[in-house]
């Protein structure tokens, strides 16, 4: 990944520069108007957020199981990015909702699930920052529980009520929207991978620095 890092940054930058042009060229959705363009980064950000949360959960479970610091570093990096992408989702979602449903927020299944998942990711960072010694294991347990919780949150709110467009929207997109959509999704995923690598590197350096301090003290 280290050798690929620089060329991939160039590719990602080019994709981000080209994306607005593509989105502008995409078919104009008549009922939503200009607001529909939010879709090109709202939905992919949501996908990345979910992937990142799952990465964090799996890495945390592995860390609890075999205690390798590398797993913990990955969980930490993924949790931070879950919060970041969650923020994008949380900011762009209400803008869309205002136009589509006439309200800024609704307690529908997907919205509630994203919100709760985002809160759990934030509380993970909170534990890591203010938990003191042993907070790595604490955070790992939190992440494992949080990941196991996702289907239950989804089921419970789904029985409760649902308003958000279903996942079936994406595979059935009209061709003129589909192209720019997957282009944007790819760009955001690429950015996620790059950020994850950079954050992982930082976490590794920090662990190495801590180890050096400890060695110096002994």
Query: How many C-beta atoms surround the C-beta of residue 191 within 10 A?
Result: 20
SS3 state of residue 101: coil
* 62 touching another protein, by CB under 8 A: no
In whole angstroms, how close is the CB of 116 to another protein at the nearest point?
5
Q: Which of 8, 47, 138, 194 binds another protein (CB under 8 A)?
A: 138
Q: Which of 29, 131, 194, 200 binds another protein (CB under 8 A)?
A: 131
* 155 touching another protein, by CB under 8 A: yes
Among positions 13-42, residues that touch another protein (CB under 8 A) are: none
Alpha-carbon Rg for the chain, nearest whole angstrom, is: 19
Phi, psi at residue 61, to the nearest 5°? -60, -40
Q: Which is nearer to another protein, 77 or 121 (CB)?
A: 121
Q: Which of 8, 15, 116, 194 binds another protein (CB under 8 A)?
A: 116
Q: Whole-angstrom Cα distance, residue 179 to residue 2?
A: 30
Q: Whole-angstrom Cα distance, residue 27 to residue 181?
A: 11
Q: Whole-angstrom Cα distance, residue 151 to residue 168?
A: 18
**Where does this chain bind another protein (CB under 8 A)?**
64-65, 67, 112, 116, 119-120, 123, 126-127, 130-135, 137-138, 141-142, 144-146, 148-149, 152-153, 155-157, 159-160
């Amino acid at each position: 990944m280290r050798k690929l890092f620089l060329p991939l940054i160039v590719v990602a930058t080019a994709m981000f520069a080209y994306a607005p042009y593509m989105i502008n060229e995409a078919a104009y959705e008549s009922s939503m108007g200009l607001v529909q363009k939010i879709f090109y980064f709202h939905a992919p950000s949501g996908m990345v957020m979910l992937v990142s949360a799952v990465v964090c959960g799996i890495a945390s479970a592995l860390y609890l199981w075999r205690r390798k610091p590398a797993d913990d570093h990955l969980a930490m990096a993924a949790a931070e990015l879950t919060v970041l992408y969650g923020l994008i989702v949380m900011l762009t979602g209400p803008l869309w909702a205002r136009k589509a449903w006439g309200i800024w927020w609704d307690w529908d299944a997907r919205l509630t699930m994203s919100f709760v998942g985002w809160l759990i990711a934030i509380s993970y960072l909170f534990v890591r920052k203010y938990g003191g010694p042993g907070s790595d294991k604490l955070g790992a347990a939190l992440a494992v529980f949080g990941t196991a919780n996702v289907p239950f949150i989804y089921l419970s709110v789904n029985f409760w009520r649902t308003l958000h467009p279903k996942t079936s929207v994406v595979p059935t997109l009209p061709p003129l929207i589909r192209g720019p959509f997957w282009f944007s999704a790819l760009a955001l995923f690429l950015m996620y991978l790059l950020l994850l690598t950079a954050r992982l590197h930082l976490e590794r350096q920090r662990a190495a620095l801590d180890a050096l301090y400890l060695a110096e003290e002994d």
